[in-house]
Every structure is written in C-alpha cells, then in structure tokens.
Structure 1
Amino acid sequence: MDKIRILVIGLEEAEVNALKQSLNFNYLMVHYDLVPQVKLIEGQLYVESTSVPGKYLLVNKVIFHGIYKDDVDFITLLAMWNGPCLPNALGMMDLRQRIPGLARALSVSKFSGIKRGMVIGEQDYSTETEVVAKWGIWHCGEDKNKFTGDWTSTETSVIEEFIDGEAVRIMIVGDKSWQIRLTGDTWLKSIHNEGSWEMEIDQELLLDSKAIAQHFNLQTVGVDYIIGKNGERYLLEVNHIPNVTVFPFVNKAFIEYAVEWMVS
C-alpha cells in the first residue's frame, strides 16, 4: 500500500506535532513554515523535499494555514490541482485578495448595509462624515486610516462609514462555531488583544457566517462583523485563514477536525 503524503504549511510546531502523533505508519508528513516550491504535473501535485534540494515528492493532501506575501499563485495552483485541501483551495483563492473577496462575500451576506466607497490608485477623497479607509490585499489590512474631510489614497482602497460599536468574529471549524469578542485600546480591534474571548453567539450572525462558508466551500472560516450601538449588524470581512492558535478551544477543535480530515 502506497503511503499518503500530507503537505502541511504554516502551522506552528505544537500543532504539527499533534497531527503527527495522530497518524499511523501509512502516512507521511512534509512540513514547511513558509510557502514551499511546488509543481503541478499532469494533475499531480509535487513538493520539494525538505532534506534533498531539487527532489520533488508526490503530495496527496494539503493543510494550509497562513497568509504570505507570495501565496496568491500558490493558492491558485492548489485550486488548479483540485485535490484534498484544508481549507478548500478555490474558496481561499476567491477570498485571498481582501477587496475582491469582500465584494464576493457581500453578495452573500444579509448584513451588507454599510455604504462603501472605493478609490483606485492615488486619488483624493472627501467626506463630511467619519469614515475608515482600508487598503492592501492583506486581510489584516496593510493599513487603515480614520478621517473626516479630505484624504488622499496611496493605493486602491475601500472607504466605509465608521460605526461605533462592538466588533465580533464568528469562527467556524467544521461543525463547531464560536463568537469571539474583538477588543483593543483604540478603535482598532483584534483577536490578539488580551480582552478578546468567547461570548454568547448571535444565531443570525452564525447563520449568515454558515451561508458564507458554504458559498465558498470553506471548512474553516472567520467572519468579522460590527454591531452598532443601535443593534444593527454589518459584515466587515471574511478571513479565509482565521487564526486557530490564539484560543485554546478553537485550537483543540481544529486539531481534532484536521486529524479526522487527514485520515478520511
């Protein structure tokens, strides 16, 4: 029986070791911290060996976790391969570039009520209300700027009204889900702030997030919303690679799901 080789990219050492311990001798694992050299040859995926430079190994499954400067072509190659990939490669490809991904997600979400603007390249923008400009293809955003009045972009940007409220993330791993409160010392909120933690889940946001996950065929996803002080909810962003290491309950669920996925 041929062994099944699993390529794991971006997971931290603790997660990689946990996955390895759950596999029997029928499985091999190749782990890279960064995007490796790969080739797609006649529908088969190959990755460069970690021990023998220039030697390429046949890959049967891929687990991908991370956002890298040079990963767009890599994810596209995985989508072209169309083999077993966690998360689904086509869904990752559709969401990888933040602004096009947002446009796709807004077509699915019930909570798309923010009236957004957009500028291409270097352009002047003027507003009488408080807004936030977000630019860059990174999901964390290359940068953000809150302003009223005149502003000049340095690159293609989305501008959305600033909503004072509570930022939350619906996190989905397989059939498990959580709502995470995002916190921060300023108007910028993050899962990495010390106060961020699980909270009671909003069932309407969960249904919306599940619809988005199903649309992009993603097994894991993080969907960010803002809940205004008036109770209105708005979609902010869909994270195709949500962090699974910050919260122990998410980390445990991800390891369990990934193990089941690998051996299925």
Structure 2
Amino acid sequence: MKQKYNRIGLVGIEQEEYDSIKAQYSGHIIWHQSIPKIVVKEGVLYMEKSNGIGMLPVDKVVYYGIYDNDFEFITGLAIWNGDCYPNAAAMVDCRFKIPCLVKALSLSRFSAPRGFVSAGASVNATNDTVAKWGNWHCGENKHRFTGEWESEFTATIEPYYEGEAVRIMMIGDTYWQIKLEGDDWLKSIHPENAGFMPVDDDLLADTLHIKEALKMDMIGNDYILAKDGSKYLLEVNHIPNITRFEDVRQVYLSTVMEWINK
C-alpha cells in the first residue's frame, strides 16, 4: 500500500488562492510561487521545503501558472505519475503551443489551414495574415502583416479573420463562454469589458472533445466567430486564467478542494 504523508505541494498558486486552500486543508502544505526543485525516487515525489533546507515527500501537487522553465518541472511530475492537478502528462503534451495546436487541429471541427515559417526565413503573404510564435498567450508574440515578412522566430501563420473573438473555458464539467476584448485586433481575457456571454453549443462540444481527447482537466479554447458565420479554432490554453473572473476562481477553488480531499 502506498504510504501517505498528509502533505500536498502547491506550485504557482497566488497568495489569495493559497489562503483559501490552506483554510480548508488540515494537512501540511509546501507552497512555492515559483518552480521548486524536486526529486522522484522509488515512486515518491520529494519537493524542496517552502522555507529552510531539504526536501519532503508529498502526496499530491496542484500546479497553476506558466513559467519560462516549467516544462522540465511538469515533465518530472509526469514521470512521477502521482496525483497532480491538472494532469501532468496532459500538461507536458500541451505546454508548447505549436505542437499542442497540431494535436488540437486534428481534433477540432473548426480547423483552419496553417502555415509555418522557420526562424530567419521570409514569407510573402498576398492576404491579411497573422504570425504567432513562442509559448505565451494573452496576445503576446503575434504579428499581423501583408506582403513580405521575415520571421525572427519559428512561427505559424494563418489568415486574419475579421469577427468576434471568444473563449470556451472549462474546469472539470463547468464551462463558460467569454467574449475577448482589446483596443486593437489583439484580443484577450484581461480588458475590463471582457465578460461572459451565451455559450455556443458547437464550440462547447468542440472544446469538450479536445479536452477529453487530450485528457486535460481544464482548458481554454480561443475561437473566432467570423462575420460570414464561419468558426475557427485559434489556440488552446492548457492553463487558462482563473483569477480574472470571481465565478471562475470560485469554481477552480472548489474543484481543487474536492480533488485534494478525494
């Protein structure tokens, strides 16, 4: 029988969410707002202490956030193969944006053709085109162009679709549709006028299919509702923002607590 240590690790959780979890959990917590050192040995995950020197074994890990150096960390969690929320193996598969997009496009009803540009290569676009690179979201690392463009980074390219940008977000079985906003063509969840809207059943079904196929516990799929009525999957967020809206935050916390207490 697997030994229990009555100890969980919280990684990337902000102060307010940590306080909420701590108030509801009677065991010990190791809390890190940045990526900690870990060791996996004989099926046990050891995590460096929040304070002081040394490592302690943990039973479960809750991870939230995106960091420059997090891929190796979540790979370690996947090798451990212990209780992790979200599913560590799914996070490994979805951490890098372009490979995750490849998987999602093969699953989505609303795939649109993509192009690809190597770092240092040039491409000539006769139509309005968007290039995307890197592994960040929130409107970063994107460039809109027509004509000749040389990419400094490895990038995908896609047509620019005029329309309404939305996100289908799911935590467990709970879901929302959020209208993304912004002052220009770059849209995200962060502007004050971004908010909830009625859920499109087709987009919800598409997101659920992708979520289940990729074995994700939470997901945020961004789509464009084009002016001609067409719908296009833009990208997949494997760690969607849970703090922007209080309703989402509360569902996240209740889901995490239910999972911790299983």
TM-score (norm 2): 0.96
Pair 260,152 (structure 1): closer, same or farther in 2 beyond 3 Å: same
Amino acid across the alignment from 1:7: G
**Residue 232 of structure 1 is aligned with which of 224, 227, 230?**
230
Q: Pairwise mapping of residues 19-168 of structure 1 onto structure 2 (< 5 A)?
A: 19-24=21-26, 27-53=27-53, 55-112=54-111, 114-140=112-138, 142-168=140-166
CA distance in 1, matches of 2:140, 2:181: 19
CA distance in 2, matches of 1:193, 1:130: 25
CA distance in 1, matches of 2:125, 2:177: 33
Q: Using the TM superposition, give the Cα deviation of residue 216 of structure 1 relative to its aligned residue in structure 2, in angstroms.
A: 1.5
**Secondary structure in 2 aligned to 1:39?**
strand
**Residue 215 of structure 1 is aligned with which of 213, 216, 229?**
213
CA distance in 1, matches of 2:140, 2:201: 31
CA distance in 2, matches of 1:52, 1:39: 17
Q: Deviations along 1:139-189, whole A, 9 cap, x unmatched?
A: 346511101000000010000000011111111011110000000010000
Greater Cα offset, 2-11 or 34-43:
2-11
CA distance in 2, matches of 1:194, 1:22: 31
Amino acid across the alignment from 1:23: Y
Could you list the runs of 5+ residues in structure 2 that have no partner in the other structure? none
CA distance in 1, matches of 2:16, 2:116: 41
Cα contact 1:97–1:139 (8 A) shared by 2: no
CA distance in 1, matches of 2:183, 2:208: 30
Runs of 4+ in 1 over 4 A off after TM superposition: none
TM-score (norm 1): 0.96
Aligned partner of 2:249 in structure 1 is: 251
CA distance in 1, matches of 2:260, 2:138: 29
Q: Using the TM superposition, give the Cα deviation of residue 221 of structure 1 relative to its aligned residue in structure 2, in angstroms.
A: 1.0
Aligned partner of 1:12 in structure 2 is: 14
Q: How many residues align?
A: 260
Pair 96,35 (structure 1): closer, same or farther in 2 beyond 3 Å: same
Cα contact 1:174–1:219 (8 A) shared by 2: yes
